[in-house]
């Protein structure tokens, strides 16, 4: 699959849809290219001054832009990351819808033949020792040949949470005229549909319908205490067999331990040496494989993106009925498999160990964003979010139980607050009518993001910056929060496009397919 990035900026943007609010036009400068007119680039308020939050956030994204995508940070993460790019596109749409579309198209240009979207797309101009695991570790074009890895682009073989269809829909909504003129949704829809088929079929390792992750890196919250028990079965790779580049940019006390990292490397090595094949599992002790977990946030994002794909199908002339039905069915499976009413939140299911992992992670709150979640489940999640495990004197929502034995306010995903999970929870609160709580969380996130220098993550109590500074998704989601919400953004209006009578054969084939190979 070839990159389309060489074609993207060559197309002229068309005028915005007349039904959308007009914004000042400005030229967006892409490195090494002539200015491209972007019809919906944001007009900064001159009265706010050069030091406004919006301008500072925009500068972060400009500094991290490579010409076709955005790196999470220049030092620690010098390549393109999958779910980072989705969140980045959600913010970029307020600065440049064209650039936001390009962000997603570049990522999807590295999709594998089996449908997976790899969690890292490597920049060949970056030295190999700048990040580990590097392309020579993953060997995607050779080890992933049977799974359809691209031959001309080097990637990882693992995946990340499927927030991409939601991002694509929101990017379209930012400038429907530009999107339609470029054929943006028509271009990304088949790839997103193939991505969902991969997760719903090849990653249904438990056999109940939910997607499983086979590595902590895939879930995105890779150092969470929720993984401690499943990882304990994994023999770590010898410390001498790899060099951690992350410690060149982050304090060791804020990063995963060498023991945990050794286990990550072992899992990735075994997955690579197995040709990145996804095997079947059965619940209970003795199931095959060292690590296979059904995670609530990963599956909630898959369900939310199924709703978004239904909206995209409607825009393309299809009904999206099958996707909405699937999203509602999967919501029921999520509750059946991962919901604990006694503790008022969702938990991970360890397919290898045969039960729910009894650790309270922020992942268990993320399903709040689902629009068809039953009222009693949503209400319990709101109470848990505000209760002693996540809301006891904190500024922002911690990534792990404040009362848990493994809580650490500074160590990667073991307690610090992250802005992407905060954004998802703010969205969920609005979806379920908790506007006052959502507003309070929004204001706290905006204040903390700016004060921390758009940090990667922060101490949930003090807001002290941790990890990388000038982090792209922090800046991008700050921009999105500054813009506010509408019904299309919150998911409150799920009828968009559902009453269209026309259904093209091409769209029907993409929307209705339950399996098969991607075209």
Give catalytic residues, as residue numbers: 222, 456
The answer to whether 153 and 110 are in contact (CB under 8 A) is yes
Q: Is residue 209 left, alpha or beta, with left meaning phi > 0 and alpha meaning psi from -120 to 50?
A: left
CA 286 to chain centre: 32
Question: Rounded to whole angstroms, how far apart are CA atoms 76 and 420?
Answer: 18
d(CA 328, CA 306): 9
Tell me the CA distances in angstroms from 152 to 110, 112, 118, 301, one per residue in order.
9, 12, 14, 29
* Residue found by looking up tokens 């197309």 in the block: 11
- CB-based contacts of 396: which residues, under 8 Å, 6+ apart? 417, 422, 441, 444, 445, 448, 458, 460, 463
Which two structure tokens, joined as six digits, stand for 62? 């400009």
Q: Which helix (H) or strand (E) element contains residue 457?
A: strand 457-458
Segment (H or E) for 312: helix 296-315
Look up tokens 């072992």; give the residue: 266
- DSSP H or E stretch at residue 466: strand 465-466
Cis peptide bond prior to 133, omega within 30° of 0:
yes
Distances (CA, A) of 185 to 170, 233, 373, 420, 486: 11, 43, 27, 24, 20
Structure tokens at 125: 């101009």
Rg (CA), the chain: 21
DSSP state of 139: -
CA atoms within a 13 Å half-sphere pointing along the CA-CB vector of 315:
24
User: Would you say 189 and 172 are in contact if contact means Cβ atoms under 8 Å apart?
Assistant: no
Helix (H, G, I), strand (E, B) or coil at 355: strand
d(CA 387, CA 460): 14
Tokens of 372: 């068809």
Backbone region of residue 85 per phi and psi (left: phi > 0; alpha: psi in -120 to 50; beta: other values): alpha
């Amino acid at each position: 699959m070839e990159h389309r990035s060489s074609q993207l900026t060559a197309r002229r943007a068309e005028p915005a849809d007349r039904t959308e609010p007009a914004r000042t036009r400005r030229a967006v400068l892409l490195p090494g290219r002539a200015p491209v007119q972007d019809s919906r680039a944001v007009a900064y308020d001159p009265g706010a001054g050069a030091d406004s939050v919006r301008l500072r956030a925009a500068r972060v994204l400009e500094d991290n832009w490579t010409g076709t995508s955005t790196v999470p940070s220049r030092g620690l993460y010098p390549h393109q990351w999958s779910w980072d790019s989705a969140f980045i596109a959600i913010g970029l749409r307020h600065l440049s819808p064209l650039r936001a579309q390009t962000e997603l198209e570049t990522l999807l240009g590295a999709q594998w033949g089996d449908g997976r979207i790899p969690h890292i797309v490597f920049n060949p101009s970056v030295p190999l020792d700048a990040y580990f695991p590097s392309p020579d570790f993953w060997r995607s074009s050779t080890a992933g040949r049977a799974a359809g890895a691209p031959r001309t682009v080097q990637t990882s073989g693992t995946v990340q949470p499927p927030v991409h269809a939601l991002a694509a829909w929101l990017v379209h909504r930012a400038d429907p005229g530009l999107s339609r003129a470029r054929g943006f949704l028509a271009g990304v829809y088949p790839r997103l549909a193939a991505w969902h088929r991969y997760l719903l079929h090849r990653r249904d390792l438990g056999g109940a319908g939910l997607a499983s992750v086979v590595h902590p890196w895939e879930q995105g919250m890779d150092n969470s205490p929720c993984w401690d028990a499943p990882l304990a079965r994994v023999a770590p790779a010898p410390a001498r067999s790899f060099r951690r580049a992350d410690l060149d940019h982050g304090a060791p006390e804020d990063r995963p331990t060498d023991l945990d990292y050794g286990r990550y490397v072992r899992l990735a090595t075994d997955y690579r040496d197995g040709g990145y094949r996804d095997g079947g599992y059965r619940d209970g002790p003795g199931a095959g494989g060292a690590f296979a977990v059904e995670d609530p946030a990963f599956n909630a994002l898959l369900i939310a993106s199924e709703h978004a794909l239904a909206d995209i199908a409607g825009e393309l002339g299809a009904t999206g009925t099958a996707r909405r039905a699937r999203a509602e069915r999967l919501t029921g499976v999520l509750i059946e498999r991962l919901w604990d009413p006694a503790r008022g939140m969702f938990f991970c299911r360890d397919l290898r160990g045969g039960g729910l992992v009894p650790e309270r992670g922020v992942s268990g709150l993320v399903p709040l964003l689902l629009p068809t979640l039953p009222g009693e489940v949503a209400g319990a999640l709101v109470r848990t979010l505000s209760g002693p495990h996540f809301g006891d004197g904190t500024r922002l929502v911690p990534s792990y139980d404040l009362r848990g034995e493994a809580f650490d306010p500074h160590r990667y995903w073991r307690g610090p607050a992250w802005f992407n999970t905060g954004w998802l929870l703010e969205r969920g609160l609005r979806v379920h009518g908790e506007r006052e709580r959502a507003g309070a969380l929004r204001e706290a996130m905006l204040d903390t993001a700016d004060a921390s220098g758009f940090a990667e993550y922060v101490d949930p109590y003090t807001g002290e910056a941790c990890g990388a500074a000038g982090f792209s998704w922090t800046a991008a989601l700050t921009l999105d929060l500054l813009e506010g919400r509408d019904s299309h953004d919150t998911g409150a209006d799920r009828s968009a496009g559902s009453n269209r009578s026309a259904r093209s054969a091409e769209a029907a084939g993409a929307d209705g397919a339950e399996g098969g190979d991607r075209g």
